[in-house]
């Protein structure tokens, strides 16, 4: 019961942290981590008891799926080079650097265990990076790269981690075998992701009802992850491919209710699961500190050294990598999004916060070896990992807004507005073209045609009023004012209708199911 109450507290905190974070201009994940730390320090709050084997499969699939909803495969393809430099190459470099330092500093820590430590602290957290970037109004190109890095670096790091753990537990390591496992893991994951994505899109088309469609999408990430892991593939990559396939080949443009329900549902899931995950990070810190028990100075020194390696390796890698990407971009004119100044590079560097994946992997380090002896350096690995997570997530998360303001890095509002205006114009032209096609085969009254042409223009005007010239703006301003008043009156009429229907719920003999069906009809009509 105590564990259940703790879960409800974290869920409440997840909801409350969003408006509080917006008011304080701080990322919600950072606030939830701090809340978890506060809870962990209270004597009456029980220790968290979660099987480490369940953390990754329960937390990562919904978070990854929700993150992919905000991007597309074409965006990944366009930014493949900078993403690979960060998500693959940087993870390998960070893992190697941390393993070298940890193996040299921590007495009795085998090289394989040091590599496992390097792999679990190497990947920046996609959830934290996206949450921070979304609140700070960063340029879209930076957000795209951070999202791509965050989604793909987990794949690389988790595979590296599993190879290192297997080598540490068994005491043997074969580079060719590890490389083969890496390739097979990726192939299996991609195959499962594509197959499951295709099957899901077919099922979504058959189900029809928005509620059932969303229920299916909730199950799919978990099925994709577990199935890939059972077949020796990468669960994270499988979820990523599945989500990208579903988003890329989403079927019906006219499925308005499906899109609205799906978006709302996944925003709720994203908020709640993110809150729980980062709250658990704070709560688990208590257990990591307890493991040190009197060896604080020495262990803290090791953690500080690894934090320095993680932070500065990222900077030392980003500077030449960004320069190289920019040179290749200028020479070959690729359509990719890269940092265009040293200020943006610095913001990308300071955005490398560690989070959910690092916690899950740290807690999943085995307790014993194959021969039954204790896993060497497990307590030190967990302590150092939490030191890195706290330093990067809390310190960088709290100071990143200040850094962004100080450097003056902000979204290109003019470019975004121009693209929005272009889309508004394209939408208007498409509506007019369809109207002319209908007019060619049907005889429509002149008055009706005028109304429909105005409606076509309204489509674009409501998306972006700036698409009109000054004369048209003035001409339509008066009509817009009248239409606004008419809409307000219609809204009041629909509100009266909804209140009347809802009041019938408390009447004797009223069937609540029928009341809800009529109310849903009114709600849908109000949306339209």
pLDDT at 222: 93
CB-based contact 439:453 (threshold 8 Å): no
Window from 255-269, 323-337, 373-387, 414-428 with minimum mean pLDDT: 323-337
Average pLDDT of the segment spanning 32-51: 76
Q: Maximum distance among all alpha carbons in the chain?
A: 88
User: Which has the closest alpha carbon to 304: 377, 387, 378?
Assistant: 387
pLDDT at 135 over 70: no
The mean per-residue pLDDT over the stretch 189-202 comes to 91
Task: Note the pLDDT of residue 312.
Answer: 92
pLDDT value for 307: 93
278-302 confidence digits (pLDDT tens): 787 777 777 777 776 777 778 888 9
Q: How far apart are the first and last CA of the chain?
A: 45
Greater model confidence, 138 or 337 = 138
Kindly tell me if the per-residue pLDDT of 136 is higher than 70. no
Mean pLDDT value across residues 299-314: 91
Per-residue model confidence (pLDDT) at position 16: 86
Kindly report, residue by residue over 452-483, the tens digit of the pLDDT.
776 766 666 666 666 555 555 555 666 667 76
Q: In the predicted model, is pLDDT for residue 224 greater than 90?
A: yes
Give residue 80's pLDDT: 72
pLDDT of residue 25: 72
Rounded CA-CA distance 498/496 in Å is: 5
Alpha-carbon span 145 to 340, nearest angstrom: 13
Q: What mean pLDDT is predicted for residues 376-390?
A: 86
Residue 350: the pLDDT is: 85
Task: For residue 523, give Cα distances in angstroms to 211, 262, 489, 527.
Answer: 15, 17, 16, 6
DSSP string for residues in 392-435? IIIIIHHHHHHHHHHHT----HHHHHHHHHHHHHHHHHHHHHHH
Q: Give the residue from 180, 176, 197 showing the smallest Cα distance to 240.
A: 197
What pLDDT score was predicted for residue 338?
A: 60
Q: Pick the more confident residue, 116 or 475.
A: 116
What was the pLDDT predicted at 223? 93
Give the confidence band of 252 by pLDDT, cuts at 50, 70, 90: low
Higher pLDDT residue, 122 or 250? Answer: 122
Average pLDDT, integer, range 251-263 = 67
């Amino acid at each position: 019961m105590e564990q259940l109450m703790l879960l409800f507290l974290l869920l409440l905190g997840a909801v409350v942290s969003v408006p509080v974070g917006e008011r304080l201009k701080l990322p919600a994940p950072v606030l939830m981590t701090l809340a978890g730390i506060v809870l962990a320090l209270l004597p009456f709050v029980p220790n968290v008891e979660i099987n480490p084997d369940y953390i990754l499969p329960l937390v990562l699939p919904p978070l990854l799926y929700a993150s992919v909803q905000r991007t597309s495969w074409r965006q990944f393809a366009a930014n493949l080079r900078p993403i690979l430099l960060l998500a693959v190459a940087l993870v390998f470099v960070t893992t190697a650097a941390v393993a070298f330092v940890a193996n040299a500093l921590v007495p009795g820590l085998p090289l394989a265990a040091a590599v496992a430590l390097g792999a679990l602290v190497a990947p920046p957290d996609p959830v934290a990076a996206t949450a921070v970037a979304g609140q700070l109004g960063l340029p879209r190109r930076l957000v795209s790269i951070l999202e791509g890095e965050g989604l793909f670096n987990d794949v690389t790091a988790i595979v590296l981690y599993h190879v290192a753990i297997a080598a540490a537990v068994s005491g043997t390591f074969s580079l060719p075998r590890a490389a083969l496992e890496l390739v097979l893991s990726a192939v299996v994951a991609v195959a499962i992701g594509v197959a499951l994505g295709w099957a899901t899109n077919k099922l979504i088309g058959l189900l029809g009802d928005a509620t059932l469609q969303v229920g299916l999408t909730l199950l799919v990430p978990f099925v994709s992850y577990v199935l890939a892991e059972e077949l020796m593939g990468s669960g994270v990559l499988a979820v990523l491919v599945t989500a990208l396939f579903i988003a890329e080949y989403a079927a019906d443009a006219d499925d308005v209710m499906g899109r609205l329900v799906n978006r709302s549902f996944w925003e709720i899931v994203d908020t709640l699961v993110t809150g729980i995950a980062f709250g658990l990070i704070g709560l688990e810190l208590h257990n990591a500190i307890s493991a040190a028990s009197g060896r604080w100075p020495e262990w803290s020194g090791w953690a500080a050294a690894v934090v320095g390696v993680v932070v500065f390796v990222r900077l030392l890698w980003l500077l030449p990598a960004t320069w190289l990407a920019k040179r290749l971009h200028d020479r070959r004119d690729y359509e990719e999004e890269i940092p265009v100044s040293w200020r943006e590079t610095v913001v990308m560097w300071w955005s490398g916060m560690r989070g959910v994946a690092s916690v899950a992997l740290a807690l999943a380090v085995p307790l014993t070896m194959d021969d039954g002896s204790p896993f060497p350096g497990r307590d030190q690995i967990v302590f150092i990992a939490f030191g890195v997570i706290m330093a990067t997530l809390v310190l960088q998360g709290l100071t990143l807004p200040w850094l962004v303001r100080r450097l003056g890095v902000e979204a290109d509002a003019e470019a975004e507005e121009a693209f929005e205006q272009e889309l508004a114009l394209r939408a208007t032209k498409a509506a007019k073209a369809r109207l002319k096609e209908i007019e060619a085969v049907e005889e429509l009254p002149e008055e009706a045609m005028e109304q429909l042409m105005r409606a076509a223009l309204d489509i674009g005007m409501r998306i972006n009023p700036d698409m009109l010239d000054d004369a048209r703006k003035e001409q339509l301003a008066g009509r817009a004012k009248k239409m606004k008043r008419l809409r307000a009156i219609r809204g009041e009429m629909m509100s009266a209708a909804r209140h009347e229907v809802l009041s019938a719920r408390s009447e004797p003999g009223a069937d609540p199911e029928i009341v809800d069906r009529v109310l849903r009809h009114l709600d849908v009509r109000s949306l339209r």
